[in-house]
Amino acid sequence: MRLSDITTAKTVIFTKNSGNLVAIQQGDQIPWNLKRVFFITTSSTEKRGNHAHVNGYQAFFCISGSVQLLLKDGISIEERLLNPLGEVVLVPPGIWVDVHLLENSTLAVFTDLTYDEKDYINTWDDFFKFKGHL
């Protein structure tokens, strides 16, 4: 997969005086079968991710604060800044993702696989082998 395979989806926001309802659903924003949702929160700046997936698709959505994604395909690097209730970034397998959560941020991650340690590529050497660069 290449960085050009990364797509975005708009959320549906229903606004009232009392607040917002933000909808993300399979078939509209998430084009694959949803199996797992997890949240990463931080009160200080934190770096997470730092891996790629062999088969797993991921969708990233900032709930609060700001989150910077650094996306790498082994040749190119792209940076995406996620702001609260903005777009959903859909990342296919084979893309290395570094996640930088700024202070007081919450990130939601939607995946098409349940947790499986074997699906993770955790080192650059393994990533470049997987991508066929070595």
Catalytic residue list: 51
Tokens of 57: 């698709």
Q: Are 98 and 70 in contact (CB under 8 A)?
A: yes
Burial 51-90, CB ≥16 within 10 A → b, else e: bbbeebbbbbbbbebbbbbbbbbbeeeeebebeeebbbbb
SS3 3: helix
Residue type, 37: V
